[in-house]
């Protein structure tokens, strides 16, 4: 079966440093795939390449069999790639609801018969549903800049889901969350429909093992291992990467 996402030979250079050096990655439909590795391994850079924010110096990215290598972030979002950043990216002066409406607008279904405001109304309905699902209903009217860090993180997930992604790219979503918030996040990701595949960068192995059915280990811009959580747990390269410090 054609994978949902296939990256082949992805290379990104910053001067003499190869942040990524010929990385291959495959994510199947509905898969929960973790990307782990030490600080500076290239995890964020790889998500940037997959989401279209960074243009690779080499390699190709296919989404559901279509070559998306040359597409930017907006075009990839329209094709089903949603992205959560290492630091939440929201519009501080807009309310939580407005943030999700803005994210939903390009994807709001056009009604059969055009009438003024219909698209916005559809986006507002989507926003209401997403805020409810992420436990943010009560803060819908609060400017994003005034939300607590954990709530902004939830808000960014709501924004990504409003784009109806087939693949959600999550960069260390548990970072900076309280234990209670991490529990909520795990629960939420567990309940995410399998129509949405997840590529999760995470240094907390308990979360990786609780959530993921596939793990890829990056180190110095290269894939050193890929397998089931049990295989990865037993493998030498991973223990070595850990001994050198994980981020
Ligand atoms: N914009 C940039 N300019 C120069 N070097 C960068 C840039 N972004 C990342 N790097 C370098 O690329 C490597 C991989 O970084 P990154 O993808 O952020 O790693 P990780 O997310 O695994 O910690 C690091 O050595 C980092 O310093
Ligand atoms: Mg990173």
Mean pLDDT of 117-140: 92
Q: What spacing in Å lies between the alpha carbon of 108 and ligand 2's midpoint?
A: 31
Contacts of 146 (CB under 8 A, 6+ apart): none
Among 45, 87, 218, which is best to mutate for testing ligand 1, by the most ligand atoms less than 8 A from CB?
Answer: 45
Mean pLDDT of 66-73: 95
Give the Cβ contact number of residue 48 at 10 Å.
22
143/121 Cα distance (integer angstroms): 20
Place of tokens 């109304």: 121
Specify the ligand 1 atom closest to the Cα of 45. Answer: 17
Specify the ligand 1 atom closest to the Cα of 12. Answer: 12
Q: What spacing in Å lies between the alpha carbon of 170 and ligand 2's midpoint?
A: 10
Which residue, judged by its Cα, is nearest atom 1 of ligand 1? 14
Helix (H) or strand (E) holding 170: strand 167-171
Assess whether pLDDT exceeds 80 at residue 114: no
pLDDT attached to residue 52: 95
Tokens standing for 4?
Answer: 């949902």
Residue 54: DSSP 8-state: S
Domain 1-80+165-247 -> CATH class: alpha beta
Could you tell me how many residues make up the chain? Answer: 247
Q: Which of 27-41, 79-93, 170-184 has the lowest mean pLDDT?
A: 79-93
Each residue of 209-244: pLDDT tens digit?
999 999 999 999 999 999 999 999 888 766 666 555
Q: What spacing in Å lies between the alpha carbon of 39 and ligand 1's midpoint?
A: 9
Q: What spacing in Å lies between the alpha carbon of 126 and ligand 2's midpoint?
A: 30
Assess whether pLDDT exceeds 50 at residue 247: no
Give the whole-number percent of the chain exceeding pLDDT 70: 92
Q: Where are the domains of the chain?
A: 1-80+165-247, 92-163
Q: Report H helices in the chain.
A: 43-51, 73-78, 96-104, 118-133, 149-162, 179-191, 205-211, 229-234, 236-243
């Amino acid at each position: 079966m054609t994978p949902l996402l296939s990256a082949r030979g992805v290379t990104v250079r910053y001067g003499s440093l190869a942040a990524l050096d010929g990385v291959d990655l495959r994510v199947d439909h509905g898969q929960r795939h973790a990307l782990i590795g030490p600080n500076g391994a290239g995890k964020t850079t790889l998500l940037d390449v997959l989401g279209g924010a960074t243009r690779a110096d080499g390699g190709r990215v296919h989404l559901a069999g279509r070559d998306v290598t040359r597409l930017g972030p907006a075009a990839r979002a329209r094709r089903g790639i949603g992205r959560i950043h290492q630091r939440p990216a929201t519009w501080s002066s807009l309310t939580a609801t407005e943030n999700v409406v803005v994210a939903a607008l390009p994807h709001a279904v056009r009604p059969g018969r055009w009438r003024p405001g219909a698209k916005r109304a559809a986006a507002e309905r989507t926003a209401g549903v997403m805020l409810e699902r992420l436990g943010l209903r009560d803060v819908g009217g609060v400017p994003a800049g005034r939300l607590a860090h954990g709530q902004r993180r939830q808000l960014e997930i709501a924004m990504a889901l409003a784009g109806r992604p087939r693949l959600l790219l999550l960069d260390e979503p548990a970072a900076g969350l309280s234990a209670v918030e991490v529990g909520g996040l795990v629960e939420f990701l567990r309940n995410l429909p399998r129509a949405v595949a997840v590529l999760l960068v995470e240094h907390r192995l308990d979360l990786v093992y609780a959530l993921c059915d596939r793990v890829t280990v990056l180190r110095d811009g290269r894939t050193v291992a890929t397998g089931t959580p049990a295989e990865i747990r037993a493998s030498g390269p991973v223990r070595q990467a850990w001994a050198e410090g994980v981020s």
